């Protein structure tokens, strides 16, 4: 009897989003990078109907759960706000991660992130924890964050999105407005930069990169130059190479159009 309270759901998961086959390539590599880092957490990928069957099948091989989210059919309020604002569609789609209430706590990772070593310690943090954005460090970057799935939070976020929109047209602006206390909150909510290392900074602070690159745990390939869109890219070439190695090991040749230098097909 004394243990009855332990029956509450304590499952924790890493969550990502891929609305199409293109971003699914990122999600696949991210999933395998988490496996290679021997995480003990569940892996969950949200997709939309746009993701084709063979790609879904590959996602299901690495993710414990792949669920379909459909922004446009899900909520009248959201539908209205999206009319004439296609830029907001993605922000709305990401919000669905708060609806995954089968998990007590979750870490959201953009599909363009790559995990280099075990980061399960992130689950010791509370909502809302994130790392600073390099462009304006008083705002957090929304590619990596710790949160608690909760329908009420989801509805509140949706309401804010529909009434106020997003100051940058994307999820990052919306989430920074909603969790505006983050900037002044205790350092416990401020994740170290090693959990969300974005390109660009190395050109302005190359010495820091040289000193700390061995401690980097999560890399984030922001911008349009995604690793799956060809070559090693100009962003953080040594990290992009690690991305490509995981891609070659697990993904190349498994889904239509996913060629690689060592294509299996
Ligand atoms: N995303 C998606 N489909 C899209 C654009 C974005 O699934 O067409 C998801 C994906 O998880 C992606 C995240 O939304 O990593 C945020 O977009 P992105 O990473 O391209 O933005 P950036 O980090 O470059 O600002
Ligand atoms: Mn991203």
Express each pLDDT in 192-203 by its tens digit: 999 999 876 566
Residue 264's pLDDT band (cuts 50, 70, 90): very low
For the ranges 6-10, 116-120, 206-210, the maximum mean pLDDT occurs at 116-120
**Which ligand sits closest to the CA of 94?**
1
How are beta strands 113-115 and 218-220 bridged, if at all? antiparallel
Please state which of the ranges 24-33, 59-68, 249-258 shows the lowest mean pLDDT.
249-258
Q: Is 133 in the pocket of ligand 1 (CB under 6 A)?
A: no
Distance, in Å, from the CA atom of 71 to the CA atom of 78, rounded to the nearest integer, reads: 7
Q: What is the DSSP string of 51-95?
A: S-HHHHHHHHHH-SEEEE--HHHH-HHHHHHHTT-GGGHHHHHHH
Question: Is the ipTM beyond the 0.95 threshold?
Answer: yes
For the ranges 63-72, 131-140, 159-168, 252-261, the maximum mean pLDDT occurs at 131-140
- Pair 20, 228: CB distance under 8 Å: no
Residue 201: per-residue pLDDT:
58
Above 80 in pLDDT, residue 243?
Answer: yes
Residue 204: per-residue pLDDT:
72
Above 80 in pLDDT, residue 8?
Answer: no
Q: Is 19 in the pocket of ligand 1 (CB under 6 A)?
A: yes
Q: Using alpha carbons, select from 42, 87, 48, 89 the residue that is nearest to residue 64.
A: 42
Above 80 in pLDDT, residue 73?
Answer: no
Residue 4: per-residue pLDDT:
47
Residue 169: per-residue pLDDT:
84
Question: Strand order in 197-198's β-sheet?
Answer: 113-115, 218-220, 197-198
Dump pLDDT digits (tens) for 77-133: 777 677 677 777 887 899 999 999 999 999 999 999 999 999 999 999 999 999 999
Q: How far is the CA of 76 from the centre of ligand 2 (A)?
A: 28
Paired strand residues for 220: 113, 198
Element (H, E) at 197: strand 197-198
Atom of ligand 1 nearest to the CA of 18: 7
Residue 22's pLDDT band (cuts 50, 70, 90): very high
Dump pLDDT digits (tens) for 153-189: 999 998 998 888 889 888 999 999 999 999 999 999 9
Supply the mean pLDDT for the chain.
89
Distance, in Å, from the CA atom of 45 to the CA atom of 162, rounded to the nearest integer, reads: 25
CA-proximal residue: ligand 1, atom 22 (nearest): 222
pTM, two decimal places: 0.92
Q: Is 221 in the pocket of ligand 1 (CB under 6 A)?
A: no
Residue 233: per-residue pLDDT:
61
**Percent of the chain whose predicted confidence (pLDDT) is above 70:** 86
Please state which of the ranges 138-142, 152-156, 221-225, 242-246 shows the lowest mean pLDDT.
221-225
Residue 262: per-residue pLDDT:
39
Helices (H), 123-236: 151-164, 171-178, 201-204, 206-212
CA-proximal residue: ligand 1, atom 7 (nearest): 18
């Amino acid at each position: 009897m004394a243990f009855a309270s332990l029956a509450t759901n304590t499952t924790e998961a890493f969550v990502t989003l891929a609305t199409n086959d293109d971003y699914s390539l990122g999600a696949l590599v991210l999933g395998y990078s988490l496996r290679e880092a021997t995480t003990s957490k569940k892996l969950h990928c949200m997709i939309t109907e746009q993701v084709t069957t063979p790609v879904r099948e590959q996602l299901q091989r690495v993710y414990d759960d792949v669920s379909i989210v459909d922004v446009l059919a899900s909520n009248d309020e959201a539908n209205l706000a999206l009319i004439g604002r296609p830029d907001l569609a993605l922000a709305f789609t990401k919000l669905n991660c708060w609806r995954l209430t089968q998990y007590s706590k979750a870490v959201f990772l953009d599909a363009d992130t790559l995990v280099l070593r075990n980061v399960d310690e992130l689950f010791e943090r509370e909502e809302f924890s994130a790392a600073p954005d390099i462009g304006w460090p008083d705002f957090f970057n929304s590619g990596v964050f710790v949160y608690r799935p909760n329908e009420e939070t989801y509805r509140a976020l949706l309401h804010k999105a529909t009434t106020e929109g997003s100051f940058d047209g994307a999820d990052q602006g919306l989430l920074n407005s909603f969790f505006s206390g983050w900037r002044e909150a205790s350092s416990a909510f401020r994740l170290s930069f090693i959990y969300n290392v974005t390109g660009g900074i190395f050109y302005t602070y190359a010495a820091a990169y040289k000193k700390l690159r061995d401690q980097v745990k999560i890399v984030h390939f922001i911008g349009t130059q995604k690793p799956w869109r060809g070559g090693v890219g100009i962003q953080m070439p040594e990290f992009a190479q690690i991305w490509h190695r995981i891609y070659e090991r697990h993904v190349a040749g498994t889904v239509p159009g996913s060629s690689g230098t060592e294509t299996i097909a």
